[in-house]
Amino acid sequence: MSKRIKAMMTDVYRDMYAGAEAACVIDLTGLDVKQQETLRRSLRETSASLQVVKNSLARAALRDTPLEPLGNALEGPCAIVVSSESLIEAAKALVAAAKEFDSLNLKHAIIDGDPDLISVSDLAKMKGRLELLGELAMLIASPGRALAGCISSPQSKLAGCLKAMADRD
C-alpha cells in the first residue's frame, strides 16, 4: 500500500472514530461470510457498527483520542465495534454471538475514555443506561412512596376499626 493510500485510510479511520469514547475489539478469524453478516445485523440492532481495520493505521488514527489505549492493544486480525448509543448493549450482543459462533474471539473494550482496558464479557455484565435510569427513578421515588405509606396507614387502621365495629353490630 502506498503512503498516500495509507494516509487516506488513516484519515477515514480518524473520521470514523472521531468523538467515540467507547469501543470493543474483536477477532473475526474463522467466521464465514454468513456468520459475519449475522453478527453485523445483530450489532446494527443495537446501533453499533463493526469495521475490520489494519492495526498500524488504526493505531495512528486513534493516537491522541480517548480510544488510544485500545489502539495500543491491537494485535492480530482485529475489528473495532463502536456504538452510537450504548456500547454495553453492543457488548451483550457480542457475547451472545460468541456463544453462537465458537471462533469469535472477544478481546478488549474501553468505555468513556477510561485508560484501563476491560474484557468485552466484563463490559456485557455491566448495567446499561436504561437500567441505571430505572434504578435512579426508583431511588428517587422510594422516599415519596414511604411517606405516602406512612400518611395513609393511620387512615386505613381507622377505617378497619370502623368496619369491624359496623360488622359487630
Mean pLDDT of 55-62: 90
User: 44-56: per-residue pLDDT in tens?
Assistant: 998 899 999 888 9
Ranges of each domain in the chain: 3-126, 128-169
- The answer to whether residue 129 scores a pLDDT higher than 80 is no
Which amino acid makes up residue 124? A
> Whole-model pTM above 0.75?
no
CA distance 43 to 22: 15
User: 66-79: per-residue pLDDT in tens?
Assistant: 888 888 888 888 89
Reported CATH class of domain 3-126:
alpha beta
CA 15 to each of CA 55, 63, 69: distance values in angstroms, whole numbers, following the listed order: 16, 13, 18
